[in-house]
Amino acid sequence: MSLHDDEERRRWQNPEAILMKTGLRPGSTFIDVGCGEGFFAIPAAKVVGEKGWVYGLDINPKAVSRLKEKASKEKLRNLKLKVGRAEETILCEGCADIAFFGIVLHDFADPVKVLKNSKRMLS
């Protein structure tokens, strides 16, 4: 189990409870900016179901690779994942119901640019 998906983190940051508070529901399109290994993306993919989509973006190719492995093991086919910098990446224009940031916004070199890009992805 990775540092980013351990039981200790789940005690203080329950992803399912947090996602429910965002209004995420079946059929939604959810963007996880800074998705890492999928702490929020995997539960979100389960919530949105077969008619929804989860887009994940992370700068770390190893984390995205591990997320792909987890999604495959859980037979989740509704994730679209990309390695890239959030300051330079727009995954789609006006496609998303929710743009989500776990505890990552402080990690970006230009958080304002990241937020502007995220706004462009929202429908």
Residue 51: CATH number of its domain:
3.40.50.150
Is 41 in contact with 18 (CB distance < 8 Å)?
A: no
pLDDT by position in tens, the chain (length 123): 454 456 777 788 899 999 999 999 999 999 999 999 999 999 999 999 999 999 999 999 999 999 999 999 999 999 999 999 999 999 999 999 999 999 888 899 999 999 999 999 999
The number of folded domains in the chain is: 1
Biggest CA–CA distance in the chain, Å, is: 36
Domain, as residue range, for 108: 3-121
* Total-model pTM: 0.90
